[in-house]
Amino acid sequence: MGVTGPGLSNGGTGRVRVRDVFLRGVEPPPARVFTERPGYPWFVVAVTCIGAFIGQLDASIVQLALPHLREVFHTGFDGVSWVSLAYLLAFASTLPIFGRLCELFGRKLLYLVGFVAFSAASALCGSAGGLGELVAYRALQGIGGAMLGANSISMLVRAVDPGRRARAMGIFAAAQAIGVSVGPVVGGLLLGTLGWRWIFWVTVPFGLAAAVLGWLVLPQTSGTKGDRRFDGWGAVLLMPGLTAFMLVLNQSSAWGILSPRILGCAAVAVVMIGLFVRHENACPYPLVDLRLFRSPAFSFGGLGTILGYALLYGMFFVMSFALVRGLGDRPEVAGMRLAVLPAALGIVASLTGGWSKRFGIRRLCVLGMTLCGVSIGGLAVCLSNPAWGRIVDLSALALFGAGLGLFIAPNNHGTMEAAPADHSGQAGALLNLLRVSGTSLGVASGSAYLSWRLAEMGMSGTRGAVIAGPQLVRAAVETLALLATFAVLAGVVSLIPGKPSNPGRPS
């Protein structure tokens, strides 16, 4: 059901008092100044893109700041990693819950609360007096991010008619890429001038502005479920299962893949998620409708989402070490070089809407992974032969970003098209959950493989900051082979029958 202007619920004509919004949970109608414009759906897309932008901006800035925060709080690598991990755990474990709640009680209000919660938690993070406080506030920030992630894609899909949906998904992917691009540059400047607290405070005005704009622009929710029963047992089983799973992905390198903690988390994840699947199949009002995965297009598209984001963040991780510790670049210089990748991703992703209609989703995805494979080979050659110059490796990074731009936006669009319209909320939330899983997989696998290759070379202290020079470059080159494997798998997944070859049209 597309939102095409004044024909939405209340159409901007109803009046809702502010106290009703806060006391009774009534969604405010959009302002007529927006709904009466022919381009109204694109205002809705813009609001969802702001959420996508600040989420990725926050993630990339925090990753860059972790070494600095380690010195500020006088802690080890394992300790400071919880600044990132707390957000991921809270986001992943609550995302499916908010995905269900927005279907029951409405999307707009929950989305606005998400912006306010994210902004408030960001302000608290910047005011933290110790590492423990910062980790706790990052968990709150993850809950706010989950409210946004549970709604963003679904609201975008409902706002735009099917003919323009691929273009909207491309713009959404471009907004994410811009956030990733700007993060390292802005983070480096803030750390060098105003201090670490500003890497959190910088997102506050964006979040508050988005809340105000969302109040005025977003349509009221229509078509909420008549049956408002909530699957509490499903939430009880899923939250610890997802938390344990994310710990396995993110901490395997730090704790050791065969350590008691990792094996214990893996056992908890298998048992709890297994019980969750069994419960959901029998529940008449499930937290996650597992029938979504009966569609090959949705299942393989979700797998493609995991592999695509594993490629993106795995490349960031490997090349950050290769440039800074291997080739001796300053962090701010390395950040600006790496920004070429998401910049190219954003430019190409914004153009894929028309290309999807002309060439088909499947062809674009395969071409994108082919370009990624070629660029990985080019980067391996450039790292092994620094005399080739930095223009060549910049070109390879740009080619990698362009390949991901050809893959991520069309794949996301095809995956959402495979979900029934009345399940768009759960499908969008699951897509964001798979994106976070892919991010964790990319960083965790890159870290584990890089550590293993260094250990195989007989180097001690492979997790410390002292490893540098040619050995690290060599290990990074060998780790790129892992990313090439991800690209091949993603390309193969794109060819599997059942994945849509054109938007909205089954193969």
For residue 149, what is the domain's CATH number? 1.20.1250.20
Distance between first and last Cα of the chain? 23
pLDDT at 461: 45
- The DSSP line for 88-141 is HHHHHHHHHHHHHHHHHH-SHHHHHHHHHHHHHHHHHHHT-SSHHHHHHHHHHH
b/e map 82-105, b = 16+ CB within 10 Å: bbbbbbbbbbbbbbbbbbbbbbeb
Looking at residue 230, the DSSP 8-state letter turns out to be: -
Average pLDDT over residues 314-319: 81
Confidence of residue 422 (pLDDT cuts 50, 70, 90): low
Claim to verify: residue 59 and residue 190 sit in the same structural domain:
yes
- The SS3 of residue 502 is strand
- Judge whether residue 133 has pLDDT over 80: yes
Contact 506, 500 (CB under 8 A): yes
Claim to verify: residue 312 and residue 262 sit in the same structural domain:
no
Claim to verify: residue 65 and residue 157 sit in the same structural domain:
yes
Residue with structure tokens 């990693």?
A: 81
**Top-confidence residue, 206 or 423:** 206
Claim to verify: residue 235 and residue 126 sit in the same structural domain:
no
Last residue of a domain, one of 242, 257, 286: 286
Q: What is the rounded radius of gyration, in angstroms, for the C-alpha atoms of the chain?
A: 22
Is residue 8 situated within a structural domain?
no
Distance CA 10, CA 140 (A): 33
The pLDDT tens digits of the residues spanning 370-417 come to 999 999 988 888 887 766 666 777 888 889 989 988 898 888 878 877
Return the number of other C-beta atoms located less than 10 Å from residue 39's C-beta: 10
**Top-confidence residue, 75 or 137:** 137
CB proximity list for 193: less than 8 A, separation 6 or greater: none
Claim to verify: residue 436 and residue 341 sit in the same structural domain:
yes
- Length of the chain, in residues: 507
Average pLDDT over residues 262-273: 90
Claim to verify: residue 505 and residue 394 sit in the same structural domain:
yes
**Segment among 130-134, 244-248, 282-286, 329-333 with least mean pLDDT:** 329-333
pLDDT at 10: 41
Last residue of a domain, one of 166, 200, 221: 221
pLDDT at 8: 39
Q: How many domains, the chain?
A: 3
Contact 314, 404 (CB under 8 A): no
Is residue 386 situated within a structural domain?
yes
Percentage of the chain beyond pLDDT 70 is 82
- The DSSP line for 386-425 is GGG-HHHHHHHHHHHHHHHHHHHHHHHHHHHHTS-GGGHH
pLDDT at 271: 92
Return the number of other C-beta atoms located less than 10 Å from residue 228's C-beta: 11
Is residue 14 situated within a structural domain?
no
Claim to verify: residue 210 and residue 277 sit in the same structural domain:
no
List strand residue ranges (DSSP E) for 169-266, in order.
Answer: none
pLDDT at 137: 92
Claim to verify: residue 141 and residue 111 sit in the same structural domain:
yes
CB proximity list for 291: less than 8 A, separation 6 or greater: none
CB proximity list for 22: less than 8 A, separation 6 or greater: none
**Segment among 101-115, 203-217, 338-352, 443-457 with least mean pLDDT:** 443-457
Is residue 121 situated within a structural domain?
yes
Is residue 28 situated within a structural domain?
no
Claim to verify: residue 296 and residue 266 sit in the same structural domain:
no
Return the number of other C-beta atoms located less than 10 Å from residue 109's C-beta: 23
Is residue 7 situated within a structural domain?
no
**Top-confidence residue, 272 or 1:** 272
> Chain-wide mean pLDDT for the chain?
77
Claim to verify: residue 242 and residue 215 sit in the same structural domain:
no
pLDDT at 465: 43
The token pair that represents 204 in the structure block: 């506050």
The pLDDT tens digits of the residues spanning 84-105 come to 778 877 887 788 788 777 777 7
Is residue 24 situated within a structural domain?
no
**Top-confidence residue, 77 or 169:** 169
Claim to verify: residue 86 and residue 166 sit in the same structural domain:
yes
Range of the domain at 446: 291-457+464-507
CB proximity list for 293: less than 8 A, separation 6 or greater: 299, 302
Closest CA to 320 of 460, 446, 478: 446
Last residue of a domain, one of 202, 221, 240: 221
Claim to verify: residue 42 and residue 132 sit in the same structural domain:
yes
Confidence of residue 121 (pLDDT cuts 50, 70, 90): very high
Sign of the alpha-carbon torsion through 45, 50, 55, 56: positive
- Judge whether residue 284 has pLDDT over 80: no
- Judge whether residue 9 has pLDDT over 50: no
- Judge whether residue 200 has pLDDT over 80: yes
CB proximity list for 121: less than 8 A, separation 6 or greater: 137, 138, 140, 141, 143, 144
